[in-house]
Amino acid sequence: MNTPLKQFTRYPLTLWVFIIIPFFLFAGNDIDVIIPKPQKLIKSSGTFQLNRETRYLSNTVFANNAISYLQDHLKRNSGYTLQKARRGSKNTIRFRYDSQKIKKAEAYRLRIDKEQVSIEARDKAGFFYAVISMMQLINPAIWRNANGKKIRQWQIPSCTIKDYPRYRWRGMMLDVSRNFFSKTYVKKFIDRMAQQKLNRFHWHLTDDEGWRIEIKKYPLLTKVGAKRGPGTKLPFSTFPAMRGPKNRIQSGHYTQNDIREIVTYARARSIEILPEIDMPGHSKAAIAAYPKLLQDPKDKSRYLSVQRVSNNTINPGMESTYIFLDNVIAEVSRLFPFGYIHLGGDEVPKGAWSRSPAVKKLMKKKKLKSTREVQNYFFTQMDSILAKHGKKMIAWQEVLSEKPELRQDDIFMAWKSPKSGYRAIKKKRNVIMAPVQYLYFDQQYIRNRKEPGHTWSTPVSTQKAYSFKPGSSRYLKGIQACLWSETLLNEKIADYLAWPRSFALSEVAWTEQKRRNWKDFRKRVKNRGLKRLQIQNIHYRP
Ligand code: TNX
C-alpha cells in the first residue's frame, strides 16, 4: 500500500528539511500576499486565532455587508457562524466607523494582533475591503464554495494595513450578447471581482447577436431578439454561439427578477452594475424584433458593420426611435440603481442612413452636415432622455468625435489606445481607460493557434496588462478590462481569458504606481492568487 508515511520516507530527509518544510513555514507566515497590494502594510509578531469563540463588535450599519460576507464563508468552511459579542472582550473582530481618521472613500485600516482584529472605515466599501484583505491573509480554503473538509481554526498573521484605492472606477465588462452567460455564472464573475476589490461591473446586455434583458413594454426584444441560430433573425456573424452545435437555436436572457437579484448580490459586495444598451449601431437584435419602430422603411442604404452584420443601425431620424428608447431607458433606469447607463455608440458603420429619407429630412431641419453630425444629434437627444430618468451617460469614445453638447459629468471609455484617452482628458472630458493593447481580455495571451481569444489586436499577456500606467488627472476616473464574448464559447474559456489577467487589472487599478513591481506581484500571484482560483475551481490559464 502507498501510505502517506511510505511516500514521505521515499524522499531523502534532506529534501524535507531544506526545501519543503521551510517553504511551508514561509508560505504560512508571509503577510505580503494580498492582491491588489495595499498602500501600506507593516508586519508585527504573533497571530490572531479565528475560531468558534471569536465574536464581532460593530458600531455601524456600514459594516453589515462585510460581516455577512465573512459569516457566509465561515459557515460554509468552518460550520460555525461569527456571533455578535456581548461586551468588549478578547478574541473579537471590531468594526468601527471613523470619518476623522479615515478620509478617503473606500479606504480602511486593519490592525491584527494576538488579541483582536480592529477595522476602521467610513463607508460600506471600506469595511468590505478590510474583510477581503483579512480573508486573503488566511488559508485560501476560506474561499471554497463547495462543501469540503471543515477548518475549525484560522490563523491570521499580525500586521497593520492602511489602504485606499488609487482609482474610483475599477471595472470589468462582460459581454453576454454574443454568447449568453447564465445567472449563476454572472454571480460567480461578480464575486471574483469583489475578491480583487474591483467595484464596477459593466454588463454589455445588448448587441447584434442578442438582446438579453427583459423589457416589459417590448416583449419581442427577448422573444425574437434573444434567439440566435438557424431560422432565427439574428446573425452568427463570424462566431457561432456557445453550448451545443451550430445548427441549434441558442437563446437566453435575464428576467427583471434575475436582474434585481444580481444587482442585490453585487451591492452586497460593493459592486455597482453599469448596464449597457448599445446604440445606434450594434442593434441588429432590437431591429429584428421591432423593425418598424427602429428603421426607416424607405431607407435604401445597405451596409455591413466591422463584424460583417448587415443593416444593424437604429435610425435617428424617426420619432418612433426616441419613443422606443425612452421607454426602454425608463425600465432600465428602474432596474439599476447606479447613476449611469452606458449607451454604447461604438462602431456605427459607414454608409448607415446615407439613403434614408427620414435622416435627410432631419439633416435639413436641424442643419446637420454629415452622418457624424447626425450621430451627434442622436446622442444629444439621448443624453436628455437619460437626464429625464435621473441618469448620466457613459459611452464609447466614438461619441466624442464631433464635440457633442453633452453634460460635463458624462464619461467616455477610451478603448482604441491610451493616447486617445489622454486626448479626451485634454478636452476636459471624464475618461475611463480600457485600451485594447492592455485591457482587452478577449484577446489572446500570446500569439499561438492553440490559444483561445481574439487575434485582431496585439496579444495581452498578464505582464503586458500589469505594465499599463494609466497616469493621473482629475478627469481620469479609472480603468476597466473588457471581456467581449464572440470567442467565449463556454465558461471555461471565459475563466481562462479572465484569469490570471484580472489580478493585474486589480493591482493597476488599486495600487499606487510606486508600490507596484512585476516580480513582487508575480510572487504573490504564484503563492496565493492561483491557490485561491484553484480552490474555487476557476479554470485559469496556468
Ligand atoms: C470591438 S471595443 C468592439 C466590440 C467587439 C470587440 C472585440 C468596442 C467598443 N467594440 O463590438 O466585440 O471589438 O474585441
239-294: pLDDT as tens digits: 777 765 666 778 899 999 999 999 999 999 999 999 999 999 999 999 999 999 99
Assign 145 to helix, strand or coil.
Answer: coil
Rounded CA-CA distance 527/530 in Å is 7
In a mutational test of the pocket of ligand 1, which residue from 484, 486, 487 has the highest number of ligand atoms less than 8 Å from its CB? 484
What is the model's pLDDT at position 88?
64
336 grid coordinates: 439599476
Distance from residue 203's CA to the centre of ligand 1 (Å): 14
Q: What's the rounded mean pLDDT across residues 427-433?
A: 97
Residue-wise pLDDT for 515-528, tens only, equals 999 999 999 999 99
Rounded CA-CA distance 69/321 in Å is 44
In a mutational test of the pocket of ligand 1, which residue from 208, 276, 347 has the highest number of ligand atoms less than 8 Å from its CB? 347
Catalytic residue among 115, 214, 272, 347: 347
Rounded CA-CA distance 365/541 in Å is 55
pLDDT reading at 24 higher than 70:
no
279 grid coordinates: 446604440
Distance from residue 300's CA to the centre of ligand 1 (Å): 27
pLDDT reading at 233 higher than 50:
yes
pTM comes to 0.94
Residue-wise pLDDT for 163-221, tens only, equals 999 999 999 999 999 999 999 999 999 999 999 999 999 999 999 999 999 999 999 99
Rounded CA-CA distance 287/68 in Å is 44
Secondary structure element (H or E) that encloses residue 521, with its range: helix 518-524
Look up the CATH architecture of domain 40-163.
2-Layer Sandwich (3.30)
What is the model's pLDDT at position 15?
53
Which of 473, 466, 464 is closest to 423 using CA atoms?
Answer: 473
Is 209 a known active-site residue?
A: no
Q: Where are the domains of the chain?
A: 40-163, 169-535
Q: Which CATH number fits domain 169-535: 3.30.300.180, 3.20.20.80, 3.40.50.410, 3.40.190.10?
A: 3.20.20.80
